């Protein structure tokens, strides 16, 4: 089997959720909804129900396949909030969106097993764990118990140290090894539906991030759908000299490269532009099927 075939097989996964299925034969777009007062780009915009529902409706109309709800900011310098505060933000948001959009796929962005449990009970379909199981020793067992798809993100250390870049000898190989070990643990617990997030911007220097992007096909070759999340992050702003509000074009470029490298899901603030990137790349692949990607 060629590298191209392996990557395309990863893209053909269908993720089965309580409220529908996510067909990854064409890359999907995950819309970010932060119900936090302090996230780096849109903090405070969607803490009120009306604004939140308007935003969700807009993202769904623009082509989002999943809405990813986060109630804890992971920007540099953000404080780790108590579990109850996370629940007080996250659970009402999930319940409100589920009521208003009954067929919407919802991802709960949390590293706490107990929060994941309450999120799924309230209507979430997917657990998106930025800590890759390192933030809560019970997360893998909880994911197995809930029988939900699980997004496994690479983040060295813990949520408290996530912005401290470590040293990598070969980032592609090291993150692939991390995923291989974690997948084994997840499978042992009984988790069947796994997506991989290389964790751009988490515990990685500027150079690490772009080296990882260049080697992202190595992650795709593991045979699981890969999620790429660059949206308006500092890895873009530091190269372009922009601020998060000016980073849409840079984000689209990074998204396009990730799609060329085999990404199955783009996690973004700007759904319309990401959907357009998917359409362009898929059309190119369709018309140039003899060329091996990446």
Residue 222 sits in a domain of what CATH number?
3.20.20.20
Distance in angstroms between the alpha carbons of the first and the last residue of the chain: 15
In a domain, 16, yes or no: yes
pTM, 2 dp: 0.90
Residue 272, sorted as left (phi over 0), alpha (psi -120 to 50) or beta, turns out to be alpha
Helix (H, G, I), strand (E, B) or coil at 132: coil
In a domain, 206, yes or no: yes
Q: Are 83 and 111 in contact (CB under 8 A)?
A: no
In a domain, 112, yes or no: yes
> pLDDT in tens for each of the 294 residues of the chain?
344 433 434 445 899 999 999 999 999 999 999 998 755 445 556 568 888 999 999 999 999 999 999 988 776 655 788 999 999 999 999 999 999 999 999 999 999 999 999 999 999 999 999 999 999 999 999 999 999 999 999 988 766 666 666 789 999 999 999 999 999 999 999 999 999 999 999 889 999 999 999 999 999 999 999 999 999 999 999 999 999 999 999 999 999 999 999 999 999 999 999 999 999 999 998 887 655 444
Q: Which two tokens stand for residue 286?
A: 């369709």
Active site residues: 233, 267
Range of the domain at 27: 3-287
Please name which of 127, 228, 226 lies closest in space to residue 186, comparing C-alpha atoms: 127
- Distances from the Cα of 111 to the Cα of 20, 39, 173, angstroms: 23, 16, 24
Compute CA 142 distance to the chain's CA centroid, rounded to the nearest angstrom: 19
In a domain, 293, yes or no: no
Q: CA-based diameter of the chain, in Å?
A: 53
How far apart CA 29 and CA 164 sit, in angstroms, is: 28
- 150-153 vs 126-129, strand pairing mode: parallel
Q: Which two tokens stand for residue 51?
A: 């604004």
Compute CA 173 distance to the chain's CA centroid, rounded to the nearest angstrom: 20
Domain count, the chain: 1
In a domain, 292, yes or no: no
Please name which of 289, 285, 278, 257 lies closest in space to residue 23, comparing C-alpha atoms: 278
């Amino acid at each position: 089997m060629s590298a191209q075939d392996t990557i395309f097989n990863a893209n053909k996964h269908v993720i089965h959720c309580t409220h529908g299925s996510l067909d990854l034969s064409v890359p999907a777009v995950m819309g970010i909804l932060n119900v936090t007062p302090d996230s780096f780009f849109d903090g405070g915009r969607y803490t009120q129900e009306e604004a939140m529902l308007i935003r969700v409706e807009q993202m769904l109309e623009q082509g989002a396949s999943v809405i990813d709800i986060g109630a804890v900011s992971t920007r540099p310098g953000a404080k780790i909030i108590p579990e109850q505060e996370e629940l007080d933000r996250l659970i009402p948001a999930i319940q409100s969106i589920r009521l208003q959009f009954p067929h919407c796929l919802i991802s709960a962005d949390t590293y706490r097993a107990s929060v994941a449990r309450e999120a799924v009970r309230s209507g979430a379909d997917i657990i998106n764990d930025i800590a890759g199981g390192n933030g809560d020793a019970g997360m893998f067992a909880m994911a197995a118990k809930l029988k939900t798809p699980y997004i496994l993100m690479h983040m060295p250390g813990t949520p408290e140290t996530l912005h401290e870049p470590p040293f990598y000898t070969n980032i592609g190989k090291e993150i692939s090894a991390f995923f291989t070990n974690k997948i084994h643990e997840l499978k042992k617990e009984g988790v069947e539906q796994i997506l991989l997030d290389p964790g751009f911007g988490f515990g990685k220097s500027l150079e690490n991030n772009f080296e990882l992007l260049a080697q992202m096909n190595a992650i795709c070759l593991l045979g699981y759908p890969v999620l790429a999340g660059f949206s308006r992050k500092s890895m873009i702003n530091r190269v372009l000299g922009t601020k998060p509000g000016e980073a849409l074009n840079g984000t689209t470029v990074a998204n396009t490269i990730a799609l060329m490298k085999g990404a199955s899901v783009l996690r973004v603030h700007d759904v319309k532009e990401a959907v357009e990137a998917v359409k362009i790349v898929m059309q190119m692949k369709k018309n140039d099927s003899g060329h091996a990607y990446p």
